[in-house]
Structure 1
Amino acid sequence: MFSFFKRDPVKALRQKYDAKAEQAMLAQRKGDMRLFADLTAEAEELWQQLEKLQEKNN
């Protein structure tokens, strides 16, 4: 009934991915390669989840 109030899961996951990727970029700029690697791995996991969700919706 009120489906327009529901948040789009793809959009929410994309925002999380974008935030994580930006954190990784900032860590790389600071020279913290270990943190960069960890954040990049987390961003990759989010990206895989995002792709699966997009395939499911299409």
Structure 2
Amino acid sequence: MSYIINDECIACGVCVEECPVEAISEGEDKYVIDPELCTECGNCADVCPVGAPQPEE
């Protein structure tokens, strides 16, 4: 199970800086996480000011 970024994303970019495997990239209106690269470390969720990264269900 990887993380996904929900619609609460404000595209601040803080999560990108914390991802150790560069799995997060800029999408059209929010950031997106590549599930093939995500290692489920949770760093993105720990630093996000709005709680946008969530474990995929």
Q: TM-score, normalised by structure 2?
A: 0.29
Based on CA coordinates, which of the two structures has the bigger radius of gyration? 1
Give the structure with the higher percent strand: 2
Flag the structure with more relative contact order, 1 or 2, with Cα contacts below 8 A and sequence separation at least 6: 2
Considering fraction of residues, name the structure with more helix: 1
